[in-house]
Chain A
Amino acid sequence: MIGAGEFWSLTLALGLGTFLIRFSFLGLLGGRQLPGWLLLHLKYVGVAVFPALIVPAVLWPAATGGETEAPRVIAALLAVAVGLRFGPVGAITAGLAALYTAQALL
Chain B
Amino acid sequence: MPPPRHPFRAGFRDCLPFVLIVIPFSTLFGVVARDAGLDLVQVMSMSVIVIAGASQFTALALLQDGAPVFVALLAALAVNLRMAMYSAALVPHLGAAPLGARALAAYLMVDQSFAVAVRRYEESPEMTVSQKLRYYFGCMAVVCPIWYGCTLAGALMGQAIPASLSLDFAVPVCFIALLAPLLRSLPHLIAAFVSALVTVAFAWLPWNLGLPIAAIAAMIAGAQAELFLARRARAKAGCPA
Contact = CB atoms under 8 A, between A and B. Distances in A.
B180 to A, nearest CB: 3
Q: For chain A, what secondary structure do more than half of its interface residues adopt (helix, strand, loop), or is it mixed? A: helix
Interface residues on B, range: 35 or more
Contacts of B191: 44, 47-48
Interface in B195-236: 195-196, 198-200, 203, 210-211, 214-223, 226-227
A2 B95 contact: no
A26 B94 contact: yes
Contact of B38 (A2, A15, A19, A34): A2
B37 A44 contact: no
A2 B63 contact: yes
Contacts of B222: 41, 43-44, 47-48
B40 interface: no
Most B CB contacts (10 A, CB to CB) among A7, A40, A47, A72 go to A47
A23 B103 contact: yes
B37 A26 contact: no
A27 B69 contact: no
Contacts, number: 289
Contacts of A51: 179, 192-193, 195-196, 199, 214, 218
A42 B217 CA distance: 12
Nearest to A77: B176
18 contacts: A2-B64, A4-B42, A9-B69, A11-B45, A14-B49, A18-B55, A19-B106, A21-B83, A21-B87, A27-B99, A27-B103, A45-B215, A72-B166, A88-B177, A92-B20, A92-B177, A95-B169, A96-B173
Given A1-B37, A10-B72, A91-B177, 19 more contacts: A8-B42, A13-B73, A15-B50, A22-B83, A25-B84, A26-B106, A29-B95, A40-B227, A41-B219, A45-B85, A46-B114, A46-B118, A48-B192, A49-B211, A50-B195, A57-B175, A61-B172, A88-B177, A95-B169
